[in-house]
Amino acid sequence: MPCSVASGAVDLFLELAALETPPGRERPAADRCLEYLRELGLDPREDDAAARLDGDTGNIHVRLEPTGPGTPLFFCAHLDTVPPEAPVEPILVNGVITNRHDAILGADNKATVAGMLDGLRRLLAEGRPHAGVELVLTPQEEIGLLGVKAFDVEALAARVGYVYDHGGPVGGMVMAAPSQKTIDLRFLGRASHSGIAPEEGRSAVAAAGRAIAAMRLGRIDEGTTANVGTIHGGIARNVVPSLCTLKAEVRGLDPARCAEETTHLLTAAATAAAAEGCSVETSVVDEYTAYRFRRGDPAVRLARQALEAAGLRVYDLLSGGGADAHVFNARGLSCLNLTSGMEKIHTAEEQIAVADVDALSELTVELVRAAADGG
């Protein structure tokens, strides 16, 4: 039975988690969230991102008009999960929620969705004064932050906001996050029979292998990483392969270092291709840009105040991952990513404690209170 708006964050999360919502197919969760918001007496709007992204769900935006002074806030969470490899049937054992089946749970990011929605419910039920609150629910985050990239940030009245989309106990503040460049490499050689005329061939696989051997991969320094994630090539055991493709990425807290390591990777590919008598086609995409917060920034100051008021241990961290916060920050807003309590995300061991789901609701309320009291 669907939970009512009188239910808490945990009940709502259990309901949302059971809905299969891979990127581009978030409709079941979107419809439930729209229903929930309308039951609260709000007027959520959905943009046209579904058509532009070839999906079934747009960005959902809802606004609570201000009832007092302070700093308006926006909150953001994403509706999609990585594709589950089995059904999602949330179970609660000893205060921890997991999936009964061998697949993800979807706490990334549905625990946050539930916590933020329940926070709005509490704000309205308790009549708390606030300076304006907005919520954005995005699709297709897991495949490149596509939903938020398609969202018109000018629709937001608030310029300070929060995403809860990082693993770790609730209380963490992501003070810096990296740039990411994705690199596609396409090595082109010449096919020939490997037993009759191997001399006539030019192996694209050999070129790709030589390139990988020359690349700096893994953790290059404290803030920079690089990885080759996939390699595909060849058509048969007895054919010198004429094509081999690699998919790689570089991330860096320092954008200049990210660019430097990207250049190194491309140089390694070009050098290896030439050595094997092959050519290489390259494509580089800037997925998102690094950002960094300072202790005195308003978003950080309000978050620390709210986390302390909620009785949580406050800590700073650096991230190597991407989140919707990247896009808001790149577009001139101030959006801080906070930890959500989720553990082992994107794996069959994913879990979250009931206490952390409840804490996300409390955190939402305390952030609004801090923005009204001291904003």
Give residue-wise pLDDT tens across range 43-54.
Answer: 999 999 999 999
44 and 168 part of one domain? yes
**84 occurs within a structural domain:** yes
For residues 31-37, give the mean pLDDT.
98
SS3 content of the chain, % helix, strand, coil (to 5): 35, 30, 40
For residues 337-351, give the mean pLDDT.
96
Give residue-wise pLDDT tens across range 53-73.
Answer: 999 999 999 999 999 999 999
Give residue-wise pLDDT tens across range 352-363.
Answer: 999 999 999 999
**362 occurs within a structural domain:** yes
Q: So what's the pLDDT on residue 7?
A: 57
29 and 166 part of one domain? yes
73 and 221 part of one domain? no
**19 occurs within a structural domain:** yes
162 and 310 part of one domain? yes
Give the domain-ending residue among 248, 267, 288. Answer: 288
33 and 103 part of one domain? yes
Q: So what's the pLDDT on residue 374?
A: 66
CATH value at residue 325: 3.40.630.10
373 pLDDT band, cuts 50/70/90, is confident
335 and 253 part of one domain? no
Give the domain-ending residue among 263, 288, 313. Answer: 288
**3 occurs within a structural domain:** no
Structural domain of 19: 9-177+290-374
192 and 208 part of one domain? yes
Residue 1 has pLDDT above 60, yes or no: no
**106 occurs within a structural domain:** yes
For residues 115-137, give the mean pLDDT.
96
Residue 375 has pLDDT above 90, yes or no: no
Q: So what's the pLDDT on residue 258?
A: 98
Residue 108 has pLDDT above 70, yes or no: yes
364 and 327 part of one domain? yes
Q: What is the DSSP string of 119-186?
A: HHHHHHHHT---S-EEEEEES--TTTSHHHHTS-GGG-S-SEEEEEEE-SSTTEEEEEE-EEEEEEEE
28 and 165 part of one domain? yes
123 and 15 part of one domain? yes
**117 occurs within a structural domain:** yes
Mean pLDDT of the chain: 96
Q: So what's the pLDDT on residue 4?
A: 47
What's the number of domains the chain is made of? 2
128 pLDDT band, cuts 50/70/90, is confident
116 and 100 part of one domain? yes
For residues 4-22, give the mean pLDDT.
86
Residue 180 has pLDDT above 70, yes or no: yes
Residue 278 has pLDDT above 90, yes or no: yes
**2 occurs within a structural domain:** no
323 pLDDT band, cuts 50/70/90, is very high
What own/partner pairs with CB < 8 Å and gap ≥ 24 does 272-276 have? Answer: 272/207, 272/208, 272/210, 272/211, 272/213, 272/214, 273/187, 273/207, 273/211, 275/207, 275/210, 276/189, 276/202, 276/203, 276/204, 276/206, 276/207, 276/210
Give the domain-ending residue among 254, 288, 322. Answer: 288
56 and 133 part of one domain? yes
- Rounded to whole angstroms, the Cα distance separating 373 from 367 reads 10
Residue 6 has pLDDT above 90, yes or no: no
CATH value at residue 258: 3.30.70.360
